[in-house]
Structure formats: C-alpha cells, structure tokens
C-alpha cells in the first residue's frame, strides 16, 4: 500500500481526496508509482509527465521522506518508509508564482 499526495488541482481533476492509495505491483520504484497512478486515474496522464517521452513536467516535483526525488531515475527504488505506507509519496506543483 503506497500513499500518494496530489496537488490541489490534480485532486480536483481526478476527483479524489488529498491522498490516494495505490496497490503497486512488483518493485516500488518512482516509475512504477507513476505508472500505477496514471493507470488508476487516466485523467492524470500528461499532467505530471509527458505522454510520449515520460519526462517529468518542468514545474512538477516528487518529494518523499523530506528528500527531493525529482531528478532521480524512474528505476530507483523508493524509500522503505514509502513502500510500507508510513510516509507518503508527494507529487508537488513547484513554487513558481501564479
């Protein structure tokens, strides 16, 4: 069970509460969390990363356990506290005015 916190606009778009629970199959990596998130909530496709290249959108950040994972490889394993559900994985809209 992996907890994912979404930014407000994406919660509205996906019609979910602040936190969603994902059942990630196989190793819990940055990429597998995002894959599962987009499969569970298809409306989020293209809003967090590019449809084709899968590159993170410039003003999106990934945080967990007080670490910035935004620049990590999608293949990297997530911290054990995220995998256990003790800590959430956070999708964050970067602070950039507006």
Partner 1 sequence: MSGVRVLVGTRKGAFMIASDGKRERWDVSGPHFGGWEIYHLKGSPADPNRIYASQSSGWFGQIIQKSSDGGKSWEALDNKFVYDGVPGTHQWYDGTPHPWEFKRVWHLEPSLTDPDTVYAGVEDAALFRTTDGGRSWHELPGLRGHGSGSAWQPGAGGLCLHTIVLDPSNKDRMFVAISAAGAFRTGDGGATWQAINRGLRSEGIPDPDAEVGHCVHRIAMHRSRPNVLFMQKHWDVMRTDNAGDSWQEVSGNLPTDFGFAIDVHAHEPETIYVVPITSDSLHYPPDGKLRVFRSRTGGNEWEPLTKGLPQRDCYVNVLRDAMAVDTLDRCGVYFGTTGGQVYCSADGGDNWTSVVRDLPPVLSVEVQTLP
Map the footprint of partner 1 across residues 58-77, applying CB under 8 A.
Answer: 59-60
Give ∠ CA 58-72-20 in degrees, rounded to 5.
75
- Shortest CB 62 distance to partner 1, Å: 14
Map the footprint of partner 1 across residues 79-98, applying CB under 8 A.
Answer: 93-94, 96, 98
Q: Which is nearer to partner 1, 75 or 94 (CB)?
A: 94
Query: Six-digit token pair at 53?
Result: 């290249």
- Shortest CB 77 distance to partner 1, Å: 27
Map the footprint of partner 1 across residues 3-62, applying CB under 8 A.
Answer: 7-10, 13, 43, 45-48, 51-52, 57, 59-60
Query: Six-digit token pair at 17?
Result: 């509460």
DSSP helix, strand, coil percent of the chain (3-state; round to 5) = 25, 25, 50
Sign of the CA dihedral running 59, 53, 49, 62: negative
């Amino acid at each position: 069970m992996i907890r994912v916190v979404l930014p407000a606009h994406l919660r509205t778009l996906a019609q979910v509460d602040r936190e969603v629970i994902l059942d990630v199959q196989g190793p819990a990596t940055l990429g597998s969390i995002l894959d599962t998130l987009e499969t569970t909530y298809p409306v989020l496709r293209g809003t967090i990363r590019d449809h084709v290249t899968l590159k993170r959108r410039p003003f999106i950040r990934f945080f967990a356990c007080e670490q910035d994972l935004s620049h990590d490889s999608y293949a990297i394993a997530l911290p054990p506290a995220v995998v256990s559900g003790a800590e959430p994985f956070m999708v964050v809209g970067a602070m950039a005015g507006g």
